[in-house]
Amino acid sequence: MDSAPVCVKFTGTNYSTWAFQFELFLKGKDLWGHIDGTDVEKSSTFDKSQDVGSSPSWAVLDARIMSWLLGSVEPHIVTHLRPHRSAQSMWAYLKKVYHQDNDAHRFQLEHAIAMFQHGSLSIQDYYSAFLTLWHEYANLVTADVPIAALSTIQTIHATTQRDQFLMKLRSEYESVRSSLLNRSPVPSLDICFGELLREEQRLSTQAILEQSHGSSGTATVAYCHRMLQMTLPMGLYRRREASGDSWRLPHLAIRRGPPMHSKNLQCFCCKEYGHIAATCPKKFFFFFDK
């Protein structure tokens, strides 16, 4: 009974969400009667001997609800509740001031839904933010709908909600969106959300694999070129370099840039520059001199 309510903190702009969760919390504690007036304080003679070990009195429970209310609102709203001395009075004040059910608020919500976009949000964050707007709008427009017609209105709204959610997705989810809309019947919003979560995971995995393949390909080219330098005879390697030919390996063609100028070549026979040993005019004379 002493645990604090786990709910969205009331900021002054999210009354519907906050009130919904706080009402469920109090009903779970069997204390909603303090708010709707069905459980009022009964005047009785206080008997201390009978009170020991019994359940808390009505005043204690009401004070507990007031402390929960104060703990679930922003600090600047707490000062507004100081004049009130009962949980019912606090609740009535918050509802009177912050509960908006007029046309201006409805227009604001419709505009927010129309302008809302997927943007850079993840699928989970986009889904949560969209539902927050939509539920507040749906609660507002169905507040005065008779119970007999409520289910029909909710069915129509569910279809519109799903379509609005799908049309605001980023272009990278176009294939999934088209697949979902071409099914007969079109899946519900929950099923669409699950499909989009799987597609998001697939796109993320694909991006990681592409990045990994790109970096490994660069490393393979560098490694193979280094192996050529280490394994081929230096003369053969330099002649191929000088001619500008590409080294042909399976699935790999490596080119070492422009050919070397002939004046930079050194003959290993006569040690002179400008030619190589294969074309050295002094090659045979060099051996005789030795």
Task: State pLDDT tens for residues 164-197.
Answer: 999 999 999 999 999 999 999 999 999 999 999 9
Stretch 230-258: mean pLDDT:
51
Number of domains in the chain: 3
What pLDDT score was predicted for residue 166? 95
More confident residue, 145 or 29: 29
Stretch 16-21: mean pLDDT:
85
Residue 201, pLDDT > 80, answer: yes
What pLDDT score was predicted for residue 1? 47
Q: Are 193 and 269 in a shared domain?
A: no
CB neighbours of 60 closer than 8 A, spacing ≥ 6? Answer: none
From 189, 204, 219, the end of a domain falls on 204
Q: Are 111 and 80 in a shared domain?
A: no
Count of Cβ atoms closer than 10 Å to residue 63 Cβ: 15
Q: Are 108 and 183 in a shared domain?
A: yes
Stretch 3-19: mean pLDDT:
77
Do the domain assignments include residue 8?
Answer: no
Alpha-carbon span 53 to 220, nearest angstrom: 79
Q: Are 44 and 120 in a shared domain?
A: no
Alpha-carbon span 243 to 236, nearest angstrom: 11
Give the E-state strand segments of 130-220 in sequence order: none
From 184, 204, 224, the end of a domain falls on 204
Alpha-carbon span 115 to 14, nearest angstrom: 19
Q: What is the span of the domain harbouring residue 135?
A: 103-204
Alpha-carbon span 195 to 140, nearest angstrom: 30
Burial grade of 93 (CB within 10 A; 0-12, 13-18, 19 or more): middle
Residue 247, pLDDT > 90, answer: no
Q: Are 107 and 196 in a shared domain?
A: yes
Do the domain assignments include residue 227?
Answer: no
Do the domain assignments include residue 214?
Answer: no
Residue 246 gets the label, from left (phi > 0), alpha (psi -120 to 50) or beta, of: beta
What pLDDT score was predicted for residue 130? 94
Alpha-carbon span 37 to 79, nearest angstrom: 24
Q: Are 19 and 49 in a shared domain?
A: yes
Q: What is the dihedral of CA 230, 233, 239, 240, to 10 degrees?
A: -50
What pLDDT score was predicted for residue 87? 93
Q: Are 38 and 93 in a shared domain?
A: yes
